[in-house]
Amino acid sequence: MSWIREGELNLIEKISANILKAGPMPKHVAFIMDGNRRFARKKQMERQEGHMQGFNKLAETLRWCKHLNIQEVTVYAFSIENFKRSQNEVDGLMVLAKQKFEKLLEERENLEKHGVCIRVLGDLNMLPLDLQQLIAKAVVSTKMHNKCFLNVCFAYTSRYEITNAVREMAWGVEQGQIKASDVSEALLSECLYSNNSPNPDLLIRTSGEVRLSDFLLWQTSHSCLVFQSVLWPEYSFWNLCEAILQYQLNHTSIQKARDLHREHQAFVQLEADRACVAEHLQHHGNGKPADARRRQEALQHYATCREERIHDFLEALQNRRDSYYTDLLSDAVVA
C-alpha cells in the first residue's frame, strides 16, 4: 500500500467537509494511532496484520486531511518504550518501517507532485543502521517540499525530546555560543525535534485511552485534546469530522489561553533580561546607580545581543542536524 492515496471525497463527505471548513480549522493535527493490536485480536488476525492495517489507515487519513486543508500531520509511530515489547514484534515493526520507507522512496515523484515533506522526529541512533539510512534518504529528498508536512515520531518520547533539547542548549553553552541565562521557553522550543513545526492545534488519540503516553507533552500544552473510543484501523472520516467539530467548539477559549500564555512568556523574558542587565551594571557601573534612560538603552542593547547569539546558535544547531543526515547518506554510498 502506498503513502499517497488519490481520490476525491464522496458527495456527502464533500458537503460535510465544506461545512466544517466554514469554521476555524486546525492547521496541524497530531495522532496517537492506538488500537492496532486490539483490532487484530478482535478480528483474529496476526498482530503484524493489525499494524499493516494501521498504516493503511494512516494513508487514508492523510487523504482526508488534505481535503480538509490540514497541512501538517504528526503521528506517533514508535515510542522508545516500545523497544520493551517482545523481540519478535519489535523486529516485525522494524521490517514494516523499512518496507514503508522503501515504498516512500519509490513514490518520490508522487510526493513531489503533492509537495509532501516528510520529517522523522526521534533519536534515530537507536534504530538499525539500514533503517537510519533509508530515513535519511526519505527526509533529505523531500526536504524542499512545502505544501504539506508529515512528521513521523519514531524512537520518540517527549521526555527524551525535552532532555535532548536541554543537551543541545548545554552544547551551545559549552561551545561558548550562548550563555546559561539565555535559556528560555522559546529557545527550548527551538531546540526540540519539532522546531520546524508550529504546535499542533488538535491531538487525537484513538482506542479510548485517555492519556498522552509521553507524546508531544511540551507542544500540546495548549492544544485541543480529543480522545475517541474507536480503534485506529477502524477510524473513519466521520470520526475525524467529530474531532474537528470538538476543536471548533474549543477554539475561542483555547486561543484565549494561548494569548495569555504568550503574554506571560514575554513578561518572563523581559524580567530575565532586566536581571541580567542589572547584574552587568552592578559589575561595570563603577558603583554609581544608572539613570532610567541609560538602563533602558542597556536593556535594549542586551536584548539585541541575546537575539543575535541565539540566532547564531540555532543556525549551528541546524547545520549539525543536517550534517547528521548527509553523513548517513555518504556512508550509505560508500557501503
Partner 1 sequence: MALLYGLLWRLLLFLVHINRALVSWLRVRLRSWKGRLWERAMAALLLPVALAGVPDPQRKVNQDPDANANPVTGNRNAGRRSRWLSDGRSLEKLPVHIGLLVAEEEPSYTDIANLAVWCMAVGISYVSVYDNHGIFQKNNSRLLEEIVRQQDLMGVDGSKCNVEFLSQGSDKHQHHVVSCRPSVKVLSPEDGKQSIVQAAQQLCRSVENRERSSRDISVSMLDMLLRESKSVPDPELVVKFGPVDSTLGFLPWHIRLTEFISLPSHRDISYEDLLGVLRRFGSCQQRLGQ
Q: Which of residues 194-253 bind partner 1 (CB under 8 A)?
A: 209-214, 217-218, 220-227, 245-246, 248-250, 253
- Spatial neighbors of 147 by CB under 8 A, at least 6 apart, are 71, 114, 115, 116, 117
CB 128, min distance to partner 1, A: 19
**Minimal distance, residue 23 CB to partner 1, in Å:** 5
Q: Is the dihedral of CA 301, 307, 311, 313 positive or negative?
A: positive
User: Binding residue for partner 1 (CB under 8 A) from 150, 169, 192, 231?
Assistant: 169
Q: How far is the CB of 16 from partner 1 (least distance, A)?
A: 9
Would you count residue 81 as binding partner 1 (CB under 8 A)? yes
Which CB, 110 or 164, lies closer to partner 1? 164
Q: Which of 59, 140, 173, 316 binds partner 1 (CB under 8 A)?
A: 173
Residue 171 CB burial class (10 angstroms; 0-12, 13-18, ≥19): middle
123 touches partner 1 (CB under 8 A):
no
Cβ-based nearer residue to partner 1, 210 or 334: 210
SS3 string, the chain, reads CCCCCCCCCCHHHHHHHHHHHCCCCCCEEEEECCCHHHHHHHCCCCHHHHHHHHHHHHHHHHHHHHHCCCCEEEEEEEEHHHHHCCHHHHHHHHHHHHHHHHHHHHCHHHHHHHCEEEEEECCHHHCCHHHHHHHHHHHHHCCCCCCEEEEEEEEECHHHHHHHHHHHHHHHHHCCCCCHHHCCHHHHHHHCCCCCCCCCCEEEECCCCCCCCCCCCCCCCCCEEEECCCCHHHCCHHHHHHHHHHHHHHHHHHHHHHHHHHHHHHHHHHHHHHHHHHHHHHHHCCCCCCCHHHHHHHHHHHHHHHHHHHHHHHHHHHHHHHHHHHHHHHHHHHC
Pick 21 or 321: Cβ nearer partner 1:
21
- Residue 126 found at the interface with partner 1 (CB under 8 A): no
Q: Which of 2, 18, 229, 304 binds partner 1 (CB under 8 A)?
A: 18
Min CB(113)–partner 1 separation in Å: 28
Q: Contacts with partner 1: how many residues (CB under 8 A)?
A: 62
User: Considering beta carbons, is residue 20 or 240 the nearer one to partner 1?
Assistant: 20
User: Is 334 a binder of partner 1 (CB under 8 A)?
Assistant: no
Report, in Å, the least distance between residue 46 CB and partner 1.
Answer: 18
Instruction: Work out which of 171, 196, 230, 329 binds partner 1, going by CB under 8 A.
Output: 171
* Cα–Cα distance for residue pair 28/203, rounded to 1 Å: 9
Per CB under 8 A, contacts with partner 1 among 243-262 are 245-246, 248-250, 253-254, 257, 260-261
One character per residue 41-80, x = contact with partner 1 (rule: CB under 8 A): --------------------------------------xx
Q: Which is nearer to partner 1, 53 or 79 (CB)?
A: 79
When the beta carbons of 13 and 214 are compared against partner 1, the nearer one is 214
Binding site for partner 1 (CB under 8 A): 18-23, 79-82, 84-85, 157-160, 162-163, 165-171, 173-174, 179-181, 183-185, 188, 209-214, 217-218, 220-227, 245-246, 248-250, 253-254, 257, 260-261, 264, 268
